[in-house]
Amino acid sequence: MRSGLAGKRVLITGAARGLGRSIAEAAAEQGARLVLSDILTEELAQVAESLRERGADVETQPMDQGDEDSIRNAMAAIGAGGALDGLVNNAALATQVGGKTLVDYDPALWDRVMRINVRGLWLVTREAIPLLSREADAGSARAKIVNLASDTALWGAPRLMAYVASKGAVIAMTRSMARELGEQGICVNAIAPGLTHCEATEYVPAERYAHYAAGRALPAEQQPGDIDGTVLYLLSEWSDFVTGQLIPVNGGFVCR
């Protein structure tokens, strides 16, 4: 009998705001035992307290995904609390990373985006593998990794070069991770949200939102909660034979 997320211990990075917070709230409603991390410690504590007031089992662990020592120390502390059943790699640098052409883009900003969005995601995953690994043929549910990519990497959003490149790397890394980790009983998938109204995208000009609205099969603005169901499915036992896949969740957006 498949049991969804009840009692499963799931780490969600970048959980203080936006997509991460929404995923945490949805997972808590399904009975997951949550480990929430972020660099924004005060906001993270507020999210955790709000969830605890609703009866959720929540731990918090500050982590700077751009710093290898911070990642290693945070993951060691998380591991001291036991194994993980799921990891949602949501943390990323998305604020104020666009607007310049590829000719004018700041190399220092490029390096920072890659350090957090690509290298950091890899390092978090690397440290989480011992906590997720299990015998693939032991009859127990598989562990799950869900990586947050972006549909900007599917249509090549302009004036956003580093972010687009970083999310394209996440898609490629997901497929490679799935191949390497399958024998350890770990499924790895990615979702590609569209432009979503949240704190990280407050700087995005109105014309970009209009561009998305015009290209969506579902003519609506995307909200953080629109990806929750897909993430929960990929974390649950219902997706035990799904790995190495990318699922766009963007209202049917097609660039035109």
Distances (CA, A) of 119 to 71, 172, 218: 11, 13, 34
Residues 201 and 96: their CA atoms lie apart, in Å, by: 8
**pLDDT(107) > 70:** yes
Q: Which fold has domain 9-249?
A: Rossmann fold (3.40.50)
194-227 pLDDT, tens digit per residue, is: 988 777 777 777 888 888 888 999 988 889 999 9
pLDDT of residue 135: 67
Q: How confident is the model at residue 140 (pLDDT cuts 50, 70, 90)?
A: low
Query: Could you tell me which residue, 254 or 203, shows the higher pLDDT?
Result: 254
**Contact between 50 and 43 (Cβ < 8 Å):** no
pLDDT at residue 1, rounded to an integer: 37
Dist. CA 1–CA 87, nearest whole Å: 23
Give residue-wise pLDDT tens across range 68-105: 999 999 999 999 999 999 999 999 999 888 889 999 99
Which residues, 6 or more positions from 60, have their beta carbon under 8 angstroms from its beta carbon?
A: 35, 36, 37, 44, 45, 48
Structure tokens at 38: 């972020």
Q: Give the tens place of pLDDT for each residue, 141-171.
A: 899 999 999 999 999 999 999 999 999 999 9
CA distance 219 to 16: 28
Q: Lowest-confidence range among 37-41, 66-70, 93-97, 117-121?
A: 93-97
CA-closest candidate to residue 242, choices 251, 230, 225, 253: 230
Is the CB of residue 87 less than 8 Å from the CB of residue 144? yes
Q: Where are the domains of the chain?
A: 9-249
Which is higher by pLDDT, 15 or 4?
A: 15
Measured distance CA(18)–CA(7) in Å, rounded: 24
Q: Which residues are part of the catalytic machinery?
A: 163
